[in-house]
Structure formats: C-alpha cells, structure tokens
Amino acid sequence: MKLFEGKKGIVLGIANDNSIAWAIAREIMEHGGTCGFSHLPDRPDDEKKKNRMRVSKCVDQYPSQTAFLEPLDVQEDEQVEAFMKMAGEKLGKIDFLLHSIAFADRADLSRPTVETGRSGFKLAMDVSVYSLISVTNFARPLFNPGASVVAMTYFGGEKCVPGYNVMGICKAALDATIKYLAFDMGPVDVRVNAVSAGPLKTLAGYAAGVGEMQEYYGHVAPLGRNVTHEEVGRSGAYLLSPYSNGITGEILHVDAGYNIMGSPGRLLDQMKAQA
C-alpha cells in the first residue's frame, strides 16, 4: 500500500512547476494521495488566465488525483471560508493541508528593513503569516484525527540574512505561529509543522537573490552542496504523512545542514588557502 493511498488534502500556494509546494504535492500524488489545489486569482482583464494556467500545467499531469483547482485570495476571510466549504463538498474529510503562501512588495524586499513602509509591512504579514491562521481555522471542520498541517518557512526568520529583509520578520512570526497553532490543534489530534528549505530556484527565490545564496550554501553546508526540489518534496510529504504522527510544533530544516554552522566552515579553509 502506498504511503498516501486513500489520503486526501489541500495544497495552497503553487505558483508554477518550480514551486516547493508542487514538489511536495507531486510526491504525495506519486504515493497515491488526492489533492485539491488553489491558485492566485487572475485579473479580470487577463484573458489567458495566466495564474490558473501555470498551476494547471502541473496538476493536469495527475487528473485522477486532482479533486479541484480553484482561485483563492487569502486576504479575504469570506473567500477562505467559501473555499474550505467547497473543499469539504468535493473531498469530504481531509488528512493534510499544505500552506506555501508568502508575499511582500518587491520595493520593500529591495530596501533596507529599517525603511519598510507601514502598509508594506502589514501586507507582508497578512499574506505570509495571518493566512496560515485563517486557513487552518476555516479548515478545522474538515480535519480527520491525525491530520497534518505544514507551512513553508526559511532560515531568514531565525538569523539575519541580508537581502531577505522584511520577509525575515514574517518568517520569524510564522515560526512562532506554528508553535501556537500546534498547541491549539493538539487536542483534536491535528499536527502543525514547518519545512525550512535551503535556497531553491523558485519564483519567490528569485526575488530574494537565490542564486548567490545557493553558491554560498554549497561552500558552507556540511554536505558541501545545496538541496534539491526532490529532497524538500520528500521531507514535506513526510511531515504530511502518518510517518510523522508524533511530531508537532517543529521546524524541519532541509538545507544540507547549513543551519547548524556557527562559522563559514570549509569556506574559511578555502579563503585561507587563497590568501
């Protein structure tokens, strides 16, 4: 029997086929799971429906295991409530919920954190942090006992990563939210965890200068390399599966060990050799 055979759940936040959420969803469906998906709402004047089209290219590969693909604006509680009601009608009870949603204005990402605008800060926190609270709350009637919620975080919420700026503050808040939601959902046997992935080439990663970070991770991480989409996909699927039933409130680092380092490690040896 496959790991997700008979399991059903919701995946929020796929942007395209480079999304970490897609790597996790693909792993789930390869192991027999059924998923319902969201996509960013398209503008009324966008005749090509580009947001929907990008996600469709992914999920159309698994037609028998895709329950739905519907737009969702997580800044509108009415939409979140309606989306979860629709999900319940199409899926019934669910076993997992993947939240892979974050956003900050590009201008705020590119300026020093101290210059972040008030409206930009509110926007980033609303989309990147509060949305997890909102979707978990409205999904509560749908969860089976033993269900799992997973969100995506990053090391920039634990330590200062220059260039990550206001999004680092959002991830710090998200990390705390994971713990408090884990406490709240524990009595109904629902777990809440997060995956902290190393830098990968995603739509969000490009905005944060992922290219330079990947090279740096390769020099500093104990494994001497960065991670792959497939590795993060398997780890995320693990946290959403029954194999992780005893784990909640945790942040699983999938970064080739980068987060354990207190110095540049072998990169320092290379620098000395070149001196």
Q: Is residue 3 part of a domain?
A: no
Q: Is residue 167 part of a domain?
A: yes
Tell me which amino acid residue 234 is: R
Name 73's Cβ contacts closer than 8 Å, sequence gap at least 6: 40, 41, 79
Q: What is the pLDDT of residue 272?
A: 64
Q: Is 164 labeled as catalytic in the residue annotation?
A: yes
3-state secondary structure of 193: strand
Of residues 268 and 101, more confidence is placed in 101
Q: What is the pLDDT of residue 50?
A: 94
Of residues 154, 217, 238, 258, which has the active-site annotation? Answer: 154
Q: What stretches of 60-147 show up as alpha helix (H) in DSSP?
A: 77-91, 106-110, 118-125, 131-139
The residue segments making up the domain with residue 147 are 8-274
pLDDT at 268 over 80: no
Q: What is the pLDDT of residue 140?
A: 98
Q: Is residue 1 part of a domain?
A: no
CA–CA distance, 170 with 242 (Å, rounded to integer): 29
Q: Is residue 181 part of a domain?
A: yes
Q: Residue 127 carries which DSSP code? A: I
Q: What is the pLDDT of residue 195?
A: 98
Q: Strands across the sheet with 251-254, in order?
A: 66-71, 34-39, 8-12, 94-99, 143-153, 191-197, 251-254
Of residues 130, 164, 217, 238, which has the active-site annotation? Answer: 164
Single pTM value for the model: 0.94
Q: Is residue 206 part of a domain?
A: yes
Q: What is the pLDDT of residue 45?
A: 84
pLDDT band at 270 (very low <50, low <70, confident <90, very high): confident
Q: Is 217 labeled as catalytic in the residue annotation?
A: no
Q: Based on the structure, what is the number of domains in the chain? A: 1
CATH number of 188's domain: 3.40.50.720
Q: What is the pLDDT of residue 48?
A: 84
Q: Exposed (0-12), middle (13-18) or buried (19+): which is 159, by Cβ within 10 Å?
A: exposed
Q: What is the pLDDT of residue 47?
A: 77
Q: What is the pLDDT of residue 266?
A: 80
pLDDT at 267 over 80: no
Q: Is residue 137 part of a domain?
A: yes
Residue 91 corresponds to which tokens in the numbers above? 């899926």
Q: Is residue 2 part of a domain?
A: no
